[in-house]
């Protein structure tokens, strides 16, 4: 019985080792793909345009608040007029704060959407590269990876192939 248990343990141990040897893990850094690929840079430019537009609207709203504030300081008015102007300013401040909050949320949402858009384009490449290089898994979160051998980091290849896809798309469009 002891010999059988020892043999069973060895089979499990050797079988597990054989399985571990056939697994191969790759790595891709999504932030580099966003920052360095052409499609990622286009997405970042779109996000920057949105940010500039949101910033313009916030500045305009702040200018209204500041103008009302200056009007309250400079003008001599009746108590009723004073209360009316103060209420108008409170509403303007509330609108400004809501605009800032909504603008920030929209920009963050758009940023997530653009990252997803770029990474969806990379997904098919990741699958093809995984099959070609024999990867059973490709990690995409640099926060959970302590060390990655250069031969397992396929970020440069993904960036290159995404750029090629984008150039091919332009050629086909012309």
Stretch 106-129: mean pLDDT, rounded? 91
> In 3-state terms, what secondary structure has residue 109?
helix
Contact between 162 and 129 (Cβ < 8 Å): no
Residue 136's CB: how many other CB atoms inside 10 A?
A: 10
pLDDT tens for each residue of 37-90: 999 999 999 999 999 999 999 999 999 999 999 888 876 778 888 889 899 999
Q: What is the pLDDT of residues 84-113, one digit of tens each?
A: 989 999 999 999 999 999 999 999 999 999
3-state secondary structure of 97: helix
Q: Are 158 and 120 in contact (CB under 8 A)?
A: no
Take residue 4 and report the two structure tokens written for it. 């059988």
Q: Does residue 161 have a pLDDT over 90?
A: yes
Asked whether the beta carbons of 34 and 44 are under 8 A apart, the reply is yes
Q: Which pTM value belongs to this model? A: 0.68
Q: Which runs of consecutive H residues, i.e. helices, occur in 28-174?
A: 30-36, 38-74, 79-133, 155-173
The set of residues, in sequence order, having a beta carbon less than 8 Å from that of 28 and lying 6+ positions away, is 122, 126, 138, 139, 140, 153, 154, 155, 158
- Does residue 148 have a pLDDT over 80? no
Burial of residue 154, with CB atoms counted within 10 A of its CB: 0-12 exposed, 13-18 middle, 19 or more buried: buried
Sign, Cα dihedral of 137, 141, 146, 151? positive
């Amino acid at each position: 019985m002891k010999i059988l248990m020892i043999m069973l343990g060895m089979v499990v141990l050797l079988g597990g080792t054989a399985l571990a040897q056939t697994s191969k893990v790759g790595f891709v850094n999504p932030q580099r793909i966003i920052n360095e690929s052409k499609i990622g840079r286009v997405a970042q430019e779109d996000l920057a345009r949105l940010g500039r537009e949101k910033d313009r609207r916030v500045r305009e709203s702040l200018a209204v608040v500041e103008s009302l504030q200056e009007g309250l300081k400079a003008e001599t008015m009746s108590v009723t007029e004073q209360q009316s102007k103060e209420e108008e300013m409170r509403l303007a401040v509330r609108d400004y704060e809501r605009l800032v909050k909504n603008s920030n949320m929209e920009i963050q949402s758009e940023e997530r959407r653009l990252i997803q858009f770029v990474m969806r384009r990379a997904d098919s490449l990741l699958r093809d590269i995984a099959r070609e290089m024999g990867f059973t898994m490709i990690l995409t979160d640099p926060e959970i990876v302590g060390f990655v051998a250069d031969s397992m980091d396929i970020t440069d290849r993904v960036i290159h192939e995404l750029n090629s896809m984008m150039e091919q798309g332009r050629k086909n469009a012309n």
